[in-house]
Structure 1
């Protein structure tokens, strides 16, 4: 609140002010933003609020939170205090939405919030290129204040995004363009304050066998092409000795044990594709578990997610449907069985299990009871797990990065045919615990 007030006071008349906040899941970004708007509105600094987000389920959460605070926001249309609009709708006709804002109050009386703002990429090499970032800039051009919220302040393509400012820092002697948020609340801080759960990781190691009799250890393979092939094999559903099935069985046992501690505790399985997800759901159902399966091609997916949040099912098996913004405090176990290994996607998936509701907060000691992540022992995933609760500078791509990638892709190299993985076998489990807490909290 004070950050926004200071920015408004120091803003040049008629200019738009950008604020970027990076705060992990459970930090209260939604309610905090709405509370700040209410106070600024009461102080006659602002009149209306426009929330932009990328999923209907997230729009519903904003609408529900606003209603609890007495704010009436229209979904896709103007309400008494403002509106909520999707990035998709804004992208179709940004000028229409800007005119809609202006028809209610002057643009300089509006706060525009970009939820999960890292989706709004801006490519300085192709400024004319369309996309959500460009349409958001058009929609919000001329407003008083733009607030970017993110729990994942980075992109795999290293592009800049809206509501962010660049700085030039020297990192290990090399000048780097970085984005630094105006306010950072790390998961480690939230864990220490008891606002979210810590995570404990269990990585299933094993061997991948190839058709020429080569063997590769999953956890120690750092040749990128081999690492990727290993993971593709490791997430396949095989017999009881396979890596994927061991991950699933361990996650299932973990959820059953947590039922004694938290009745209704549930698990999330992140699957590779729809066929893979159906296979996983079938295996769990064979064991008598109740499963909710969601994927982007299912028109009833949003309703299924809502039912799961309300207590239906013991397992949620998902294909790219339960990332940022999905709020289900009953989730205590995540089985990560997909070949997607970007840091952002991994962190978005595992942090679905860090939230806890008010009723559990009153019952649990400090630090909170942990949630658990089970996954194949892929070196990249283990590296992400070792520092998931920390915040790092977001390095922007240099202008030559794209050209370099093209040259590498088309240049000379090892042209031997890719070997085919034919089997895998589970080995030991590698355990990683969460961040070290202060002694007075850990005792």
Structure 2
């Protein structure tokens, strides 16, 4: 595909978007493609943008295994002939955009490949030229590149903005024209599951009742976690459900069940580990304390921790049983030993949920030779929030990403579009919950001919 775009007679756009789930080999595939076209004399250098500095080292080590030399750009790099490319974070590129732009002038733009890792972060709002910074920075720095390759595991955004390195297509939907992002190549998670490249997921949603009331007022309301459709109550129920209030709380029962599941997995996979995605630092510390009281080795990482990178590397090497994180491991983090994920945050966008749970789908080489296809599943534990359960039903399927949402007709109920529920907003305080049944959900079953 990239080679065809480099043909002199090609008039196709220079933006190429690859959508493939975690574990599909996007990093390795992009590097192999660049290396092949470099050897053919079509490309000389690559400039790789990543959304986190911790991901840059993963690209660098993958490149080194192929004999490619990618250096971390710092603004003080000396241009030398044996460097195949530079690595830079979106934030770092924005801070030193002028210097990086000047350095890029030394390279031949006609043989430069710009790679945007997790390209959906590069939102661009045409109505706000000073809006999302990362997208505009990438566009300006890559405007001379011969090709721009976007890689993403979740080709959509919660705000419906278009993003860089992606082809926009107009389609008719229910009599109206809408714009969609169309990847040039899409590999769905269900295809990877069928091929044995990644693990299927099984979900354990912890249900329960949340009792609401006000101090000094005897009248109380009881609201079921899994069935609450009023947005204000649904959000309040989830906030209450993730608290570690006592031994009967939904969150505490969820974590204890996740621990038992990890122990079962370790009977067959001794190096297996778990990941907990927490709400904030205080919440993460409470979770860490609970797991440590149960006898587990726990690594807590967050963006304010100066030793976060070392802790992540230590977890990847197997030094802890659980990794507790707020915002550093939901996307791009590679640790194939993760087999259990506990999702205990109030962030309920589809992109964040899918990125979080798919940390557990990666296969490692040592296990690939021991397991049949389909692979042994990994497990996701989460509160029985209606939105999260909705996302779980379709996590392995790709849906078109709509840029322009059709306007709501005057006679149409706005709650029928996008799940935007609205309900009464009452000054209530959740004072008690009760952990109830566990709602089980599996990855959509594969056709029999794919289960060989």
Q: Please report the TM-score for the alignment, with normalisation by the length of structure 1.
A: 0.93
Could you tell me how far 1:108 is from its partner in structure 2? 0.9
Distance in 1, matches of 2:423 and 2:363, equals 49
- Structure number with the higher helix fraction is 1
3-state SS of 2:437 partner: strand
What residue in structure 1 maps to residue 417 of structure 2?
none
1-side partners of 2:406 and 2:373: how far apart? 47
Q: Which residue of 1 aligns with 2:319?
A: 312
Indicate conservation of the 8 Å contact 2:233/2:425, yes or no.
Answer: no
* Residue 282 (str. 1) matches residue 282 (str. 2): no
- Measure the CA separation in 1 of the matches of 2:334 and 2:232: 35
Q: 1:166 to 1:441 in 2, by over 3 A?
A: closer
Equivalent of 2:443 in 412, 434, 441 = 434
- What is the rounded CA distance, in whole Å, between the counterparts of 1:325 and 1:24 in structure 2? 10
Which of 424, 429, 433 is matched with 1:420 structurally?
Answer: 429
Query: Which position in structure 1 is the counterpart of 2:173?
Result: 171
Q: Deviations over 1:350-397 (max 9, x none)?
A: 000000111110110110000000111000000000010000000114
Q: CA 1:414–1:144 in 2, change beyond 3 Å: closer, same or farther? A: closer
Q: Quick one: which of 5, 8, 11 aligns to 1:7?
A: 5
Q: Distance in 1 between matches of 2:83 and 2:279?
A: 43
Choose which of 197, 200, 203 in structure 2 pairs with 1:198: 200
Deviations 1:52-98 (A, max 9, x none): 11212210000000001011111114561111111112112334323
Deviation at 1:415? 7.7
* Alpha-carbon distance in 1 for matches of 2:425, 2:42: 65
**Residue 8 of structure 1: how far off its partner (Å):** 1.5
Alpha carbons 1:90, 1:135 under 8 Å: kept:
yes
Q: 1:56 aligns with which of 44, 53, 56?
A: 53
Q: Secondary structure at the match of 1:427?
A: strand
In structure 2, do the counterparts of structure 1 residues 95 and 138 end up closer, same or farther at CA, with 3 Å as the change threshold? farther
Structure 1 runs (4+) deviating above 4 angstroms are 10-13, 398-401, 413-416
Larger displacement relative to structure 2 (297-306 or 93-102)? 93-102
Q: What secondary structure does 2:7 align onto? A: helix
Asked whether the 8 Å contact 2:181–2:400 carries over to 1, the reply is yes
Query: Paired residue for 1:153, among 148, 155, 179?
Result: 155
SS across alignment from 2:226: helix
| 2:419 match | none
Contact 1:98 1:140 in 2 (8 A): no
Q: Superposed, which structure 2 residues align to 1:176-325 within 5 Å?
A: 176-211=178-213, 212-325=219-332
CA shift at 1:169, angstroms? Answer: 1.3
Counterparts of 1:274 and 1:245, CA distance in 2: 17
SS in structure 2 at match of 1:421: strand
The alpha-carbon deviation at position 101 of structure 1 amounts to 2.2
Query: Which of residues 56, 65, 87 in structure 2 aligns to 1:84?
Result: 87
Shift of residue 16 of structure 1? Answer: 6.9
Residue 393 (structure 1) aligned with residue 400 (structure 2): yes
Q: Paired residue for 1:110?
A: 112
Q: C-alpha separation between the residues in 2 aligned to 1:150 and 1:325?
A: 10
Q: CA deviation at 1:435?
A: 1.8
Distance 1:263 1:62, change over 3 A: same
From 25, 31, 34, the equivalent of 1:34 is 31
Residue correspondences, number: 429
Alpha-carbon separation, structure 2, partners of 1:220 and 1:4: 47
Query: Displacement of 1:168 after TM fit?
Result: 1.2
Query: What RMSD in Å do the two structures reach over aligned CA positions?
Result: 1.9
Q: Deviations over 1:214-267 (max 9, x none)?
A: 000110111111100000000011222211111101100000111101011110
Q: Quote how far apart the aligned CAs of 1:399 are.
A: 10
Aligned match of 2:122: 120
Bigger CA drift: 76-85 or 413-422?
413-422
8 A Cα contact 1:290 1:314, kept in partner: yes
Distance 1:210 1:83, change over 3 A: same
* Residue of structure 2 in register with 1:408 after alignment: none
Give SS of 1:247's match: helix
> Per-residue deviation at 1:418?
2.8
Counterpart position of 1:94? 97
